Amino acid sequence: MQALVDVILPVFLVVAFGYGVTWRGWMSEGTVDGMMKFSQNFAIPCLLFLAISRLDLGQEFDWRLLVSFYTGAVTGFVLGLLGARYLFGRGWEDAIAVGFVCLFSNSLLLGLPITERAYGPEALAANFAIIALHSPICFLIGITAMEAVRAKGQGIGATLGRVALGMASNPLVIGISLGAAANLTGLPLPGAAWQALELIARAGLPAALFGLGGVLYRYRPEGDLRLIVYACAVSLVVHPAIVWGMGRGLALSEAQFRSAVVTAAMAPGVNAYLFANMYGRARRVAASSVLIGTVACAFSAWFWMTALG
């Protein structure tokens, strides 16, 4: 248990530090926004670019790993969507936003540092394989579903155009795409350029974790508490349970299995709120789910990592 505390607690202390600094007014909301913009729009895309450009695509993009993880993720989206619609009586657009909360686990800001601290940097290859497709797949599902509901008789071409624009403008998708292009083409970059990218990338996760605490300070628990608890339960319990069953059934390697389960067990990511805010739907529920899920994740992650042994 002490080892797990040593792995999980430092990550959440950084988040808590950012929360406390913002709560005390020692850092303005504008500064927090700037820090998050730097980390999510620049530093983390650099991290993803470097990781994907150096990944052995043929070996690490194992279909069994991806099927295991994304079966759980898509099931979470469907359960969140249908639960919000039929159990809690929300409109279709709100229900899609809630479904996105259940779909988008915090694979980057929580899953990556927790896996690294638990199993070492060499254990992150499967994480990066999941992360490489995480934003593209999740935003494709969420944007397509929302635009389809909003289309209301508009042409399929206009809907597909809005989906493509949303995908093409996402910084994480851009970093992943450029990394894949560099990997496949063997793009030669000067050594100084690689070192500069590494300097920026190293700042990404610490800045994002600290900034995440500041962002979460704004998102006080509001809205339908039962729906928030439902969304958190799907994210923290159902998603990793499905990945566990699929991973064992498809005989993942131990490293792949650990990465998939730990990543699936993470709280809804801040992108869940950003998606809700982008469409102006279920924002309070999304924000509260991110906050409460992040706190609960400290305990659920301990449970799943104990089960992993």
Q: Would you list the domain boundaries of the chain?
A: 2-308
Burial of 94 (0-12, 13-18, 19+ CB in 10 A): buried
pLDDT at 266: 93
Query: Which CATH class for the 2-308 domain?
Result: mainly alpha
Is there a contact between 105 and 256 (Cβ–Cβ < 8 Å)? no
pLDDT digits (tens, 9 = 90+) for 193-245: 889 999 998 888 788 888 878 877 877 666 688 999 999 999 999 999 999 99
pLDDT digits (tens, 9 = 90+) for 155-202: 566 667 766 776 677 787 888 888 888 888 877 778 888 899 999 988
pLDDT at 7: 64
Give the mean pLDDT of the chain.
85
- The pLDDT-based confidence of 50 (bands split at 50, 70, 90) is confident
Other CB atoms within 10 A of residue 126 CB? 25
Residue at token pair 């940097």: 121
What is the rounded CA–CA span in Å between residue 226 and residue 272?
18
- The pLDDT-based confidence of 60 (bands split at 50, 70, 90) is low
- Of the spans 37-46, 181-190, 272-281, which averages the highest pLDDT? 37-46
pLDDT: which is higher, 84 or 217: 84
pLDDT reading at 154 higher than 80: no
What is the rounded CA–CA span in Å between residue 48 and residue 99?
25
Return the HEC string of 18-48. Answer: HHHHHHCCCCCHHHHHHHHHHHHHHHHHHHH
242-266 core/surface letters (b: 16 or more CB in 10 A; e: else) = bbbebbeebebeebbbbbbbbbbbb
Could you report how far apart the first and last alpha carbons of the chain are, in Å? 10
What is the rounded CA–CA span in Å between residue 235 and residue 136?
19
- Range scoring the smallest mean pLDDT among 75-89, 109-123, 161-175: 161-175
3-state secondary structure of 207: helix
Q: Choose among 108, 140, 141: nearest CA to 127.
A: 108
- Angle between helix 125-151 and helix 63-82 axes, rounded to 10 deg: 40
pLDDT: which is higher, 224 or 77: 77
pLDDT reading at 1 higher than 60: no
71: its two tokens? 């079966």
